C-alpha cells in the first residue's frame, strides 16, 4: 500500500485526500495546522459532492518529521505558502519519493530546461530558487486540477463542479510512475488523463483563467459580467493573445482564439473566481503564479506584454493596499 502525504488539506487537498483515503489503496496522511488539523483529528476526512457525501478517518499531523519518507507527496497549498512548505518537507522525501504539486498557475519547475529560456529560477514563484533546491525536478510529476471546490468549514470540502485531473512527468514523456499515480487517482473516482506534455496542459489552463481571476478580484464582478462588458472583454482577449505568444515560444502553443476560450467560460454561467473568493475572505491572493510568472517569463524572453503588465500592476497594487499581497522589500541603503 502506497504511503501518500497531503500537504495542505484545504479545498483541493481535502478533495484528493478524502477520495484517496476512501479508495482503500493508500495510507493517506495530511500535514495540517490550526482549525483544519483539529477538524481532521475529530471528524476525519469529509467531502460533500453531488454524487453523495464521503467520510473516512484521517491520519493527520503538523510535524513532517513524525512521518518519514513517503511514496507520494501531494502539495496542495496556496502559492504564497510554497517556500515555507519546501523548506519543511525534507523528512518526507526519500530518493524515490514523487512530489506532485496540485496548485494553480505556473509551477516553479515550469521553465526548467525549456528551449531558449535563460537559466535561473522563476523569481515570481520561487525567489532565490529555494523550492528548486529542496525539490529536484526529477522527482516531480505535474498535475492540472479541473475541479472546483470550496471549504465551507475547516476540514470540510464541498465539490462544486468538475472531476478531472491531468498528470504527467515534469520533464515530459510518459512513465510507469506517472501511470501508477493516474491509476491510483482513477480508482479513487477521478477522471484522469496521463499526459505526455503536462507543461502544455498547465499553460492551457493558465491561459483560460489568468485574466478572469485578477479582473474579478479588482472589480468584484462574477464571470458573466466580466465577459458581458465589451471593453473588459477586449482587454482580457488582448492579454490572452500576449500569453499565447509566450506559450508558443516555450513550446506550449494554443490553437484556440481567446474568444473560443471565453465562450467555454461563458457556458459556466455566473461564478466567483477563486481569487475573488480570497479577496472577499481577506486571504492572500495567488497573483504571482497566475500573472506575475507570465509577466516575468515575457520579460526574460524580451517579449512585449503591455496588457499583462497592466493587469499585473493594477492587481498587485490592489492587493497591497488591502494587505493581500506583499509590499516590495525596502530599497538597499546607498
Report the 3 state secondary structure along 176-198.
Answer: HHHHHHHHHHHHCCCEEEECCCH
Cβ 321 vs Cβ 220: under 8 Å: no
What is residue 163's predicted lDDT score, i.e. its pLDDT? Answer: 93
Q: How far apart are CA 319 and CA 130, in angstroms?
A: 24
Neighbouring CB atoms inside 10 A of 53's CB total 11
Kindly report the average pLDDT of the chain as a whole number: 95
Catalytic residue among 2, 78, 205, 272: 205
Per DSSP bridges, beta strands 191-194 and 2-7 are unpaired
User: For 191-234, what is each residue's pLDDT tens digit?
Assistant: 999 999 999 999 999 999 999 999 999 999 999 999 999 999 99
What is residue 332's predicted lDDT score, i.e. its pLDDT? Answer: 61
What is residue 334's predicted lDDT score, i.e. its pLDDT? Answer: 58
| Short-list 173, 184, 105, 106, CA closest to 138 | 173
What is residue 115's predicted lDDT score, i.e. its pLDDT? Answer: 82
∠ CA(153), CA(213), CA(311), 5° rounding?
145
Tell me which residues of the chain have a pLDDT lower than 70: 331-334
| Short-list 135, 197, 154, CA closest to 41 | 154
Contact residues for 296 (Cβ-Cβ < 8 A; gap 6+) = 122, 123, 124
| Short-list 208, 275, 201, CA closest to 239 | 208
| Short-list 229, 241, 240, 291, CA closest to 266 | 229
**The CATH classification of domain 2-196, taken from the options 3.10.129.10, 3.30.1220.10, 3.40.50.720, 3.30.200.20:** 3.40.50.720
Q: Is 205 a catalytic residue?
A: yes
CATH T-level fold of 203-320: 1.10.1040
Cβ 29 vs Cβ 61: under 8 Å: yes
What is residue 331's predicted lDDT score, i.e. its pLDDT? Answer: 66
What is residue 113's predicted lDDT score, i.e. its pLDDT? Answer: 83
Residue 274: all three cell numbers together? 477563486
Contact residues for 61 (Cβ-Cβ < 8 A; gap 6+) = 29, 30, 31, 32, 37, 67
The ranges assigned to domains in the chain are 2-196, 203-320
Q: What is the CA radius of gyration of the chain?
A: 19
Amino acid at each position: 500500500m502506497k504511503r501518500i502525504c497531503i500537504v495542505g488539506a484545504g479545498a483541493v487537498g481535502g478533495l484528493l485526500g478524502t477520495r484517496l483515503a476512501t479508495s482503500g489503496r493508500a495510507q493517506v496522511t495530511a500535514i495540517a495546522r490550526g482549525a483544519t488539523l483539529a477538524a481532521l483529528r475529530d471528524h476525519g476526512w469529509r467531502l460533500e459532492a453531488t454524487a453523495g457525501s464521503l467520510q473516512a478517518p484521517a491520519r493527520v499531523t503538523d510535524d513532517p518529521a513524525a512521518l518519514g519518507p513517503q511514496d507520494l507527496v501531494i502539495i496542495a497549498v496556496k502559492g504564497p505558502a510554497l517556500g515555507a512548505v519546501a523548506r519543511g518537507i525534507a523528512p518526507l522525501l526519500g530518493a524515490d519519493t514523487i512530489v506532485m504539486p496540485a496548485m494553480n498557475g505556473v509551477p516553479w519547475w515550469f521553465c526548467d530546461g525549456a528551449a531558449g529560456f535563460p537559466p535561473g529560477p522563476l523569481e515570481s514563484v520561487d525567489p532565490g530558487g529555494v523550492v528548486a533546491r529542496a525539490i529536484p525536478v526529477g522527482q516531480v510529476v505535474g498535475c492540472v486540477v479541473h475541479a472546483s471546490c470550496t471549504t465551507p468549514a475547516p476540514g470540510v470540502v464541498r465539490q462544486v463542479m468538475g472531476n478531472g485531473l491531468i498528470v504527467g512527468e515534469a520533464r515530459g514523456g510518459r512513465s510507469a510512475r506517472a501511470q501508477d499515480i493516474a491509476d491510483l487517482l482513477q480508482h479513487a473516482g477521478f477522471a484522469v488523463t496521463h499526459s505526455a506534455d503536462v507543461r502544455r496542459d498547465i499553460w492551457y489552463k493558465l491561459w483560460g483563467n489568468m485574466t478572469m481571476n485578477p479582473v474579478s478580484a479588482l472589480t468584484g464582478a462574477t464571470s458573466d459580467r466580466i465577459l458581458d462588458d465589451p471593453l473588459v472583454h477586449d482587454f482580457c482577449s488582448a492579454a490572452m493573445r500576449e500569453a499565447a505568444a509566450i506559450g508558443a515560444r516555450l513550446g506550449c502553443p494554443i490553437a484556440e482564439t481567446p474568444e473560443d476560450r471565453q465562450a467555454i467560460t461563458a457556458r459556466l454561467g455566473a461564478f466567483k473566481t477563486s481569487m475573488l473568493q480570497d479577496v472577499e475572505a481577506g486571504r492572500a491572493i495567488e497573483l504571482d503564479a497566475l500573472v506575475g510568472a507570465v509577466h516575468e517569463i515575457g520579460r526574460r524572453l524580451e517579449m512585449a506584454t503591455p496588457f499583462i503588465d497592466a493587469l499585473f500592476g493594477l492587481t498587485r497594487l490592489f492587493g497591497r493596499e488591502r494587505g493581500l499581497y506583499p509590499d516590495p522589500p525596502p530599497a538597499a541603503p546607498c
